Amino acid sequence: MSTTSPHRRQPPKKAATQIRVALPPAGSRWILGRSYRYLKGYLRFTTGAYVFTIVITLLTLFIPQLIRQIVDQGIGQKNPGLLASYIPTLLGIMVVKGVLTFLQGRWTEIASQGVAYDLRNALHHKLSSLSFSYHDHAQTGELLTRAIQDVERIRFLTGRATLRLFEGSILMLGTLVVLVLMNPRLGLLSLATIPILVAVAFRFGSIYRPLSQQIQQQLSVLTTRLEQNLRGSRVVKAFAQEGAEIARFERENEQWFHLSELSVRILAVNVPLIDFVASISTAIIIWFGGRLIILNQLTIGELVAFTTYLSQLVNPVRRLGQIIPAIAMAAASGERIFEILDADSKVTDAPDAIELPRIQGAVHFENVSFSYLGQQEVLKDVSFEAAPGQVIALLGATGSGKSSIISLIPRFYDSTNGRITIDDYDIRQVTLQSLRLQIGTVLQETTLFATSIRENIAMGRPDASEEEIIAAAMDAQAHNFILETPNGYDTEVGERGITLSGGQKQRIAIARTLLMNPRILILDDAMSSVDTDTERLIQIALERLMQGRTSFIIAQRLSTVRLADQILVLDHGRIAARGTHEELLRSSGLYTDLFHQQIKS
Amino acid sequence: MGFSIGTTGAGLGPRGALDRFSDKVEGKVFNLEVVLRLLIYVRPYWFQMTVSVLLLLISSALVLTIPYLVKIAIDQSIAQHDLDSLSRVTMWMLGAFSGLYLTSLGQQYLLSWIGQRVLANLRNEMFRHLQSLSLGYHDTRIVGVTLSRVISDVAVINELLAEGLVTLVGDTLLLIGIVVTMLSMSPRLALLTFSVLPLMLLVTILFARRATAAFRQTRARIAAVVGDLAEGLSGIRVIQAFAQEDASRTQFDAVNRENRDAYIEAMSLSYIFLPSVEFLGMVATAIVLLFGGLFVIRGSLTIGVVVAFLAYVSRFFQPIQELSQLYTTMQAAMAGGERVLNLLDTVPDVLDSPDAIECPPIAGRIELKNVSFAYLSEPVLHNINLVIEAGQTVALVGPTGAGKTSIANLVARFYEAAEGAVLIDDHNIKQIRQHSLRSQMGLVPQDPFLFSGTIADNIRFGRPEANDNQVKEAADLANALEFIEAKPNGFQTEILEGGVNLSLGQRQLVCIARAVLADPRILILDEATASVDTMTEVLIQEALVQLLRGRTAIIIAHRLSTIQHADQICVLDSGSIVEMGKHEELLARKGLYYTLHAS
């Protein structure tokens, strides 16, 4: 219903005034420079392409001269032999030019696609190393746009955009020189339209680009409207609001139409205008050039050459008008890309980090405090010890710090104060990889990847044998239902495959963790609602999983708290009470309250 | 204008590759039925269309005259040293250029205007149609697919008009015009020049075929990159927890590399094609110069004709290239058009019967008589008989798949019962208009769905005419007032997509306020499964008590703790009602309810 808020909607007429010339933003030169630096790995291709561009331009400038010769000397002086002798040269030049154009294009493409490839890999690398605190705030759609669209714009910038800019500029310069040399007066006169042409092209480019972005934006408003309507179709129907929804959609659609109509008008006026301005030059050449011929100051061949030169300029100039705004947009894109690449990863390996050897699983929190991004502390001075193999249950209200405790152990976040040790190793002194490979995590939301069930189970240990995978699935109570899927362990899940129920996904996640055989286990047993049978299966699987491992569990079940060697009761980031189930029932009122509210029997 | 040599075919790039992540299906190049049906939408604008086509004809003719005027300038004015005639011809040329400008402007504007207008109309029509389709349709469709129907597939109408029609009519006419003009100016030279055409055609067809495949490949590759990245990002927590960053990077590197290589190959094809076309153009130019020159030397041709031919030759290639791209465009347009029409042809499976009456204000008694129901041909409900007196609260409980939601769906007529009848105040709901029935109903969905817009907009959703005081009152009754007023913008707080700036509990409270304001006689409450903190839970329960007061309510219960005070609890198992009664009665019976309660 964004449409009903007045400040979000713009009346159609406002659109025109909002269009402004897109100039590179401040500091963009630095960003552009940094973008170009990615070409360094492709210096040979780029240099080659630019050298060839110069050669191609020279050939382009030479061809009208050849045609002039043919017309004046071959035809004009009635010399068939001479006329015929020019033809192979003409075609030969075209062959050379064609080969060079191919190489120039391909090399530019190799270099700029290479830049895009490098940038995307760099983005992926960075994003996969950024800690949870980054991803908690990042939106997937936004990151995708940067990795796809923004990178694409940088690719255009480092590739064809700059090349065409260069090509257009030297062609213009070259044409100017040649025309003035051929006939100064006619040259200057016929080039008189070029500044107008450039102005028209630039004005068009700078109006059109922002407008088409606005149209794109309006289209995404429209898409959002429709998407919300579809996702909320039950609500729409239940409240019988189809009519109001239609009115809203049509309003946004009408707004889209007005913007499109504006762009259509701009296109219709400007695109033929560029041709029109260019054609005035033709008229000038015919009129003034014709006079010069009559006065014997110009030949027909020169006249033909003149018109050819001018027609060669039209397309490059037209393109220039589109490239300048594209560069401005690339600068903005670059900024968004480098923002990710420059983001600080909050959790990294210490420079002298060592490999964590095979651990027993003794976990020790020493006066640990923690806050997200400098906000209020969610953990205050928490200390406890877990002996190898113990089950630690965590209980507390939402926001009491349960999830924070379990997130600190695999260093998804780093504590702000105090330290955590495992087998007397400070977890900040060991490598992330060696730490996390020994900690199994079953998160509340089960994420499976769009690949086979087998690969999902073997995710943490791609080298696992078939027997090990099946054994893990059996222990996780998943084997039977896996066999019932169309292709067993090779069944694809997710987008292109079958959809598993919540309970099935959870058991695959448990199998995945079992296969890793971690010494420390972290899990959130708040499972999505499943039927009683499934619940029992999951319970069995979880108990298998916990056997012989140091386990930290956010408790929701009676069986879990009964099993626990130690229950930590959290209240506003502090440990308010600790002990076993029976002890706490006797000693802690808070525990008794929480137990009745949260624990399913 | 004139003599473009060596600059044909500008800007053939990976056209809109990014706009089309999804691969377009291959299909027919021309489907008469699709075209005819789409043209119906153009009919209201037949006048603009006619004018546009006329302008197209004039502009094509003007394009043809210009080289001819050049010929006259050279052969008559210049050859006869006639300055007046030269000025006259120049004036004619300027006139032709101006005419060309104006006709192209008018033609382009009109045609694109029609295209956009029809596109907008089609979108409206599709949206309207979607509103009339029952939940049965929406429940089985992926939202993204429907989105692309309404947003991108309809854009084909534009392609059909702007690219299809103009290219087909305009370019064909222009081509014929050029051929005829050249033949009439010098048949011999014309025929000689045309000898390049078969080669040209061959190269173009070869390229078009390969390029279609290559660019389709690039679209598939970029889609793979997007897919891999999206999956990696949404699974980043698992990837990090299992220390699989390296494996994930290797995998991404592979799709990223494939994408790069596919683009380089596709673009390289273009870089072979463009110079080839340029070269063939130059061959044609060379033929004109060589043979034209020889004829001039022999005196059988004037130099002006040669110059005019040079211009015509350069005009020749653009239409050929555009026509060659038409194939791909049309293929996509036909496939898209078919999908659009399919959507519009879907018949709603819940329809008002022709003699349906407006539902009078109801008391809220609900009766299900021998109701059976199947979903996607799977039987879900068997012979259900259930009476809910006006003002009663009935809770439906039972394991997943027992049929709780289906009963509620039938009462709201989101679906149609296969057998039996649903009566509301003794009206069979098939005999009353859906809109009049549902405007007396309300829903609190399981997933607290909010629309983007302000909090006030959302509360007002079911009663858009409600004033600010009523909105506030409803929020107050729903226990939502406190948190709303604590927000900096209060009721005007914008809700972000997916409601991420409100907590789950707060979203539930807004949903309750929405139902309170709509003041329905019958309320369907799909209990939320996601857990909220204890404080909020208390607020929600209080709010629900307010909401249920004085209305008939059906609660789809997922947790048993909250429904103990229901007037009636209806226990379902595998599509049948197995037990019915009050909480204590059912517990005492030690049946399924007892078991569910114990687990």
- Minimal CA separation from B51 to chain A, in Å: 15
How would you class A40 by CB atoms within 10 Å of its CB: exposed for 0-12, middle for 13-18, buried for 19 or more?
Answer: exposed
- Cα dist from B23 to A189, B26, B218, B410, B559, whole Å: 51, 9, 9, 39, 44
Cβ distance B457 to A241 less than 8 Å, yes or no, reads: no
- Of A285, A311, A56, nearest to A182 by C-alpha is A285
Write out the DSSP string of B427-479. Answer: EEGGGB-HHHHHTTEEEE-SS----SEEHHHHHGGG-TT--HHHHHHHHHHTT
Share of chain A above pLDDT 70, in %: 91
Considering the four listed CATH numbers 3.40.50.300, 1.10.357.10, 3.40.1410.10, 2.40.440.10, the one that applies to the domain covering A361-438+523-530+550-601 is 3.40.50.300
Position A332 pLDDT exceeds 60: yes
pLDDT tens-digit readout, B409-431: 899 888 888 889 999 998 999 89
Q: Is B273 on the interface with A (CB under 8 A)?
A: no
Position A505 pLDDT exceeds 50: yes
| CB-CB neighbors (< 8 A) of A459 in chain B | 238, 242, 244
Does domain B366-598 fall under CATH 3.40.50.300? My reply is yes
Position B562 pLDDT exceeds 50: yes
Give the residue range(s) of CATH 1.20.1560.10 domains in chain B: 28-185+339-349
- Minimal CA separation from A77 to chain B, in Å: 8
Pairwise CA distance, residues A389 & A359, whole Å: 11
Task: Work out the angle between the directed axes of helices B46-72 and B172-185 (0-180°, nearest 10).
Answer: 30
Q: Which residue is listed with tokens 């088409």?
A: A212
Pairwise CA distance, residues B164 & B168, whole Å: 6
Position A462 pLDDT exceeds 90: no
Whole-structure pTM value: 0.77
When scoring B131, B261, B376 by the number of chain A Cβ atoms within 10 A, the one with the most, hence best to mutate, is B131
How would you class A120 by CB atoms within 10 Å of its CB: exposed for 0-12, middle for 13-18, buried for 19 or more?
Answer: buried
> A45-59, A156-170, A515-529: which has the minimum mean pLDDT?
A515-529
Q: What is the pLDDT confidence band of residue A499, given thresholds at 50, 70 and 90?
A: confident
Q: Any bridge partners for residue B375, and if so which?
A: B378
CB A511 within 8 A of CB A473: yes
CB B460 within 8 A of CB B466: yes
Cβ distance A512 to B274 less than 8 Å, yes or no, reads: no
When scoring B21, B116, B321, B358 by the number of chain A Cβ atoms within 10 A, the one with the most, hence best to mutate, is B116
Q: Find the mean pLDDT for residues A190-203.
A: 86
pLDDT tens-digit readout, A88-124: 999 999 999 999 999 999 999 999 999 999 999 999 9
- Of B185, B180, B1, nearest to B93 by C-alpha is B1
**Pick the residue with more confidence: A527 or B3?**
A527
Pairwise CA distance, residues B217 & B17, whole Å: 10
Position A546 pLDDT exceeds 80: yes
| CB-CB neighbors (< 8 A) of A98 in chain B | 275-276, 278-279
Q: Is B514 on the interface with A (CB under 8 A)?
A: yes
pLDDT tens-digit readout, B477-509: 999 998 899 888 899 988 876 676 787 788 889
CB B57 within 8 A of CB B27: no
CB B78 within 8 A of CB B27: no
Position A15 pLDDT exceeds 80: no
Token output for B589: 């019976």
Pairwise CA distance, residues A348 & A86, whole Å: 69
Given phi > 0 = left and psi -120 to 50 = alpha, else beta, which region is A465? Answer: beta
Does domain B28-185+339-349 fall under CATH 1.20.1560.10? My reply is yes
Cβ distance A531 to B249 less than 8 Å, yes or no, reads: no
Measured distance between the N- and C-terminal CA atoms of chain A, rounded to whole angstroms = 42
Average per-residue pLDDT in chain B? 85
Pairwise CA distance, residues B281 & B286, whole Å: 9
- What is the DSSP-derived secondary structure letter of residue B520? -
Cβ distance B151 to A241 less than 8 Å, yes or no, reads: no
Q: Is B348 on the interface with A (CB under 8 A)?
A: no
Every domain of chain A and the residues it spans: 24-183, 184-297, 361-438+523-530+550-601
H or E element in which residue A211 lies: helix A193-231
Share of chain B above pLDDT 70, in %: 93
Closest Cα in chain B to A286: B90
- Minimal CA separation from A33 to chain B, in Å: 23
Token output for B184: 């009439």
Give the residue range(s) of CATH 3.40.50.300 domains in chain B: 366-598
Write out the DSSP string of A475-499. Answer: HTT-HHHHHHSTTGGG-BBSTTSBP
Q: Any bridge partners for residue B523, and if so which?
A: B442, B553
CB pairs under 8 A between A and B: 431
- Of A107, A57, A106, A91, nearest to B270 by C-alpha is A106
The CATH code belonging to domain A24-183 is 1.20.1560.10
* Cα dihedral value B230, B236, B237, B241, nearest 10: 140
Pairwise CA distance, residues A279 & B37, whole Å: 41
Q: A552: helix, coil or strand?
A: strand
Position A558 pLDDT exceeds 80: no
- Minimal CA separation from B319 to chain A, in Å: 16
| CB-CB neighbors (< 8 A) of A268 in chain B | 104-106, 108-109, 112
H or E element in which residue B185 lies: helix B172-185
pLDDT tens-digit readout, B283-309: 999 999 999 999 999 999 999 999 999
